[in-house]
C-alpha cells in the first residue's frame, strides 16, 4: 500500500503545481490500480501495484513505437515524459547482469535442464525480483538461458 499512498500524494502535489503531465499520468496509473482492486475485490500489495506500473510503462513504450512509425515526435515526447514519471515510483531496476545472475542461480538451485523447466525457474526468480524488472524481459532471459547451447 505504500506505493499507492505515494502515488496519491504525488497526484495532489501535481495538481497543486499544475503539472499536467504528472497529473495525467498519475491519474491513469491510479485508475488502473483502482480497476484491478475492484476486479479482485481486495486492496493490492506493493508488488501488484509495481506490476501495474510496469504494465503502464510497457503500454507507453508500445505507443512510442507506433508514434515513431507515424513520425509523431510530439507523441513520442509525451510518452517518454509519462514513462519517466511512472519509473520514479518503482524500486531501482536490476541491470541485465544482475538479472542474469539471479536467473542462473535459480537454474542451478532448481536443477533446470531445458525449456520444459521454465515454470520452475520463473517460480524461483519472480519473488527475488519483485517489480525490479519487467516480467516479459525476465521471461525472455529465462527462456534464452534454458535454450540448449549449440
Distance (Å, whole) CA 58 – CA 99? 19
Q: Which of 69, 87, 105 is the last residue of a domain?
A: 87
Statement to judge: residues 124 and 81 lie in one domain: no
Handedness of CA 67, 138, 27, 80 (dihedral sign): negative
Per-residue pLDDT of the chain (150 residues; tens, 9 = 90+): 588 999 999 999 999 999 999 999 999 999 999 999 999 999 988 878 888 998 999 899 999 999 999 999 999 999 999 999 998 988 777 888 988 899 989 888 888 888 888 888 888 888 888 767 777 888 888 888 888 765
Residues 19 and 80 in one domain: yes
Amino acid at each position: 500500500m505504500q506505493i499507492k499512498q505515494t502515488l496519491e500524494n504525488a497526484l495532489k502535489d501535481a495538481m497543486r503545481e499544475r503539472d499536467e503531465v504528472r497529473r495525467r499520468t498519475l491519474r491513469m496509473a491510479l485508475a488502473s490500480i483502482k480497476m484491478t482492486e475492484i476486479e479482485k475485490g481486495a486492496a493490492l500489495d506493493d508488488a501488484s501495484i509495481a506490476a501495474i506500473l510496469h504494465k503502464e510503462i510497457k503500454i507507453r513504450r508500445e505507443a512510442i513505437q507506433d508514434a515513431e512509425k507515424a513520425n509523431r515526435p510530439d507523441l513520442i515526447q509525451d510518452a517518454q515524459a509519462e514513462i519517466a514519471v511512472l519509473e520514479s515510483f518503482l524500486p531501482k531496476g536490476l541491470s541485465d547482469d544482475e538479472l542474469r545472475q539471479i536467473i542462473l542461480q535459480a537454474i542451478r538451485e532448481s536443477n533446470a535442464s531445458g525449456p520444459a523447466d521454465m515454470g520452475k525457474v520463473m517460480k524461483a526468480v519472480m519473488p527475488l525480483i519483485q517489480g525490479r524488472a519487467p516480467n516479459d524481459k525476465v521471461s525472455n532471459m529465462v527462456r534464452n538461458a534454458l535454450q540448449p547451447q549449440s
